[in-house]
Amino acid sequence: MSFDHHPRLGKSVTVAIFRAATSVRAAPLLLMLTLLSACSSAPPGGVQVVDRERREAASRQPVRSGQYIVQRGDTLYSIAFRFGWDWKALAARNGIAAPYTIHPGQRIQFAGQPTSTVATRPAQQTTRPPVATTRPAVTKPSVTTTPPVTRPVIQPPASKPTTAPVPVTRSASGWAWPASGPIISRFSSNGSLNKGIDLAGELGQPVLAASDGTVVYAGSGLRGYGELLIIKHSDTYVSAYGHNRRLLVQEGQQVKVGQKIAEMGSTGTDRVKLHFEIRRQGKPVDPLQYLPAR
């Protein structure tokens, strides 16, 4: 079809026909460009694109503002673990002295300057002069007693505790594997949700303490970890064991490396596995850098 000037129609009519045909041919292209433009800048109320990696990277940083109201079952260590704090720094920030006891309703502050720690001491008793009293002497009747018959005490045989530690292979830094299953998820430092490693296993399989320490949290109050144990190994390191079926130790209990502390399960997740973390001064580190080579 030619759009040369037609002598009978005139120049203006010819130009109008050309423009109409051009607009018909360009309609699909214009429609596609319009859709692409709409996708590149979503209108208010549309689908919001979230930079997940940046958001998760930010979530790995300690919370530095606001406060937290202590709930029943919380410990200072579990709160520090949840909000990415070193438990010593969090205690100093809130003026909490050893043995670091907190109570429901207490406010844990994340902002501001550290508060001077005031040690809890028993109240001093006021010394009072003794009061002299005169009491009549009481005479007790003499009672003749028969000496008891001494019998040998038979001690029952000592039973071996079910949670006794077993021989384990430890790394040069003193850590051992918490379970024997294969690694199904590794630690990532680029903002990933996984702050430790995941080990596959069977339901009820033993979960072992990775090093000597004290249980500072045992419960299911931390969302996403299921039945969780946190063990304090030193002022620097704690370890965490998540998704257990059953916990075999209690808060305040001393444990040894290789001791059975829980049974593997799937609480808080979609399959049977152990989620294991090591934190150094509150920050997650790669457990494979501390565990012995397999």
Q: What is the pLDDT along the chain (294 residues), one digit of tens a residue?
A: 444 554 444 555 444 444 544 554 544 544 443 443 443 444 343 333 333 333 333 445 788 889 999 999 999 999 999 999 999 999 999 999 998 999 999 999 998 777 655 443 433 333 343 444 444 454 454 544 455 555 555 554 444 444 555 678 999 999 999 999 999 999 987 655 689 999 999 999 999 999 999 999 999 999 999 999 999 999 999 999 999 999 999 999 999 999 999 999 999 999 999 999 999 999 999 999 999 998
pLDDT at 168: 83
Mark residue 282 as left, alpha or beta (left: phi above 0; alpha: psi -120 to 50; beta: remaining). Answer: left
How far apart (Å, rounded) are the C-alpha atoms in residues 264 and 246?
7
Domain covering 61-109 in this structure, CATH number: 3.10.350.10
* CATH code of the domain made up of 183-289: 2.70.70.10
E strands, the chain, in order? 67-69, 107-109, 183-185, 197-200, 206-208, 213-219, 227-232, 237-247, 254-255, 260-264, 273-280, 283-285
Quickly list DSSP for 167-232.
-----TTS---S--SPEEE----SS-S-SSEEEE--TT-EEE-SSSEEEEEEES-STTSSEEEEEE
Candidates 234, 227, 217; CA nearest to 262 is 227
Could you give the 3-state DSSP secondary structure of residue 159?
coil
Per-residue pLDDT, 117? 52
Q: What is the pLDDT of residues 121-165, one digit of tens each?
A: 433 333 343 444 444 454 454 544 455 555 555 554 444 444 555
- Here the tokens at position 269 are 């997740």
What pLDDT score does 265 carry?
98
Closest CA to 242 of 211, 258, 265, 260: 265
Is the pTM higher than 0.85? The answer reads no
Q: Residues near 223 by Cβ (< 8 Å), separated by ≥ 6?
A: 268
Domain boundary assignment for the chain:
1-36, 61-109, 183-289
Predicted confidence (pLDDT) per residue in 86-135, tens digit = 999 999 999 999 989 999 999 999 987 776 554 434 333 333 434 444 44
